[in-house]
Structure 1
């Protein structure tokens, strides 16, 4: 039968109820001691003891059975860890608990879990096994971010296995969480000179989806998935406002439409330079659509393209493709950010945010533009990211002294 789930049985006569009662102890998923009690029908102590022992045995047998099977009769405790996690991800994705893009990230993490725990059943994994695995990942120079993601996924899945009585306790509860971080520390935004040079290079290029996307990221601070999800009906040239109402995620089956980050639409006022760029691009794109025997409509994607001759709706631009095309362009430009690296597409968003903070825009407004869940996140990320601001602070301190 293996380790018992219920122990320390005790029997007593309840004077208030005038009934015999029994109690057994167990530990919950957090390792805390709990109790399960029953009121017995037997009148005498010997009969009550027999009834209580039978109830205890039935309760233990049910717990042991639950440890081996889920409601569908599929073995849990003997399921290999990576296979169980794959089932866990599929269930969360099908029920809408996680987005397909999150599911894709989980599956990438599960590849590393599978390599480490190939053919290892859930019931046999120990805390020391996880600690050694994390140490090996560190030795192989994987990024702290990746290691942390793998750890969190394994802990979530094992927590569910605990809740389903497949194991008594989560072995990761006693394993210290890896430090989260990134090999490329710091915000690699463009400083004032870099911003001017980047805009000069962009101005010299013919407008294309990647060029327009870069303008949007720099001037409006949008994420790549937000840029790809932008439709023409979201751009109000009369009120000079741009709305972020949807995003394009990357899941197991490819790109798909999803709500924006934090499920909250937001509006951003467009500066004249961005508005002028978008007006010119709209006319260029209208011509491109006409050549494909399609019409540019409100639900056409700003950097999208026609689906085909029989469907006038425009298809979105794939975020992964945007990242790759921008990387090629950044290498061609050769401009580097404050961390000395070529700017990624997301660094253009960082550039927009640091420029706003350095220019004196209040943190709450910057947070709203970026779509952060709270201003503290914006403050912690960008308040000290601009080197010019740091130099200015040094001058002010010297002046005060």
Structure 2
């Protein structure tokens, strides 16, 4: 049968000397290049069906490797094509770190379709030995996500990582400050320039990035509300603003004890603006350096730990103030749904299981009810 003419870029079909038919089509590769892929068929129609499948994948931008793809090729491609355009920059940075430090060094030479459960288990053991079980668990999640994308792109037929359980990690014991310790910290921080930021962390449970990304346009003193819109992060290229963790904006009523520190911060910043004159960077941020630029996230944490140490308080993370805030709100009888909205969680299970802690006093009070209920009648 004579060969038939196809449109440009759709490949061509011809009959071989052995009687079979052959087609060649240029298709995209996982590394972004284009190479020629060859398919065969016993009849022209069979060969044309295979050719059309290649052309269809090409038009959809789906890679069709001309040879077996190594993980060292697929993982960087997955980061650039699948993760970078769709996920938050912080997520991309975390995934890229696991790919660069663990997945490529331990599994990069393996080909996608030849990866076995034994290879994955060995990788998890190596990462645990090199770093920790928690890091290995995160690498497991990153690799599983990457191979799920490979399955969707029809590069492999199954995701072997799903057959290997992630390492068991002992949850870190959380011991947020008690009410007395929280009051001690606020008293010790009163003279610190970042005192208003500490108040927002303790009273409203704001995340570090949310505090530093706050702008004066988000603070309404008349209605006493604060709108959390963005977060501030440090990346390889410098400081940058991103959406909140759950990509949602939330409005929080401001307690009276937060109003005075915020007004003081605005007055203090106005003095700095005049002193800085032409060198002042007007970004409308609530918390700034002497030149008006946003505060470095690590500097806020350093000030927090310094004040806590000076007050003789147990060492906790700045993020642990969110746990303390949730616990205090629950102790005050605030409804779980309201606490969830204040803290900006997407699921109430996170609020209930992670961010609430029962103190000894709460436990004693609860068990005292048993004395009352089960007390023998006299």
State the TM-score, normalized to the length of structure 2: 0.77
Distance 1:212 1:317, change over 3 A: same
Aligned residue among 319, 324, 328 for 1:351: 324
Q: 1:119 aligns with which of 104, 109, 127?
A: 109
Which residue pairs with 2:344 in the alignment? 371
Cα deviation, residue 142, structure 1: 0.5
User: Distance between the aligned counterparts of 2:53 and 2:165, measured in 1?
Assistant: 29
The residue number in structure 2 matching 1:202 is 189
| 1:310-364 Cα deviation digits (max 9, x unpaired) | xxxx43223233234433443443312xxxxx11110112111111111211111
Distance 1:177 1:55, change over 3 A: farther
- Determine if contact 1:219/1:270 at 8 Å carries over to the other structure: no
CA–CA separation in structure 2 for the residues paired with 1:296 and 1:388 = 50
Aligned residues between the structures: 332
- What secondary structure sits across from 1:262 in the alignment? coil
Equivalent in the alignment of 1:315? 293
C-alpha deviation, 1:99, in angstroms: 1.0
Q: Distance in 1 between matches of 2:55 and 2:160?
A: 21
- Which of 128, 133, 137 is matched with 2:118 structurally? 128
Q: Secondary structure at the match of 1:399?
A: helix
Aligned with 2:206: secondary structure? coil
CA distance in 1, matches of 2:187, 2:284: 29
Greater displacement, 372-381 / 232-241: 372-381
The aligned counterpart of 2:255 is 271
Distance of 2:69 and 2:161 partners within structure 1:
18
CA shift in 2, pair 1:352/1:77, >3 Å = farther
Q: 3-state DSSP class of the match of 1:212?
A: helix
In structure 2, stretches of 5+ residues that fail to align are 1-40
SS in 2 for 1:261: coil
Q: Which stretches in structure 1 are left out of the alignment for 5+ residues?
A: 1-50, 308-313, 337-341
Task: Say what the alpha-carbon RMSD is for the aligned residues.
Answer: 3.3
Deviation at residue 219 of structure 1 after TM alignment? 1.0
Give the structure 2 partner of residue 47 of structure 1.
Answer: none
Alignment of 1:192 onto 2:179: yes
- Give yes or no for contact 1:221–1:353 (8 Å, CA) kept in 2: yes
* Alpha-carbon shift at residue 294 of structure 1 (Å): 5.5
Partner of 2:142: 153
Q: Kindly provide the CA deviation profile for residues 199-228 of structure 1, in whole angstroms up to 9, marking residues without a partner as x.
A: 22112xx2323x332111001110011001
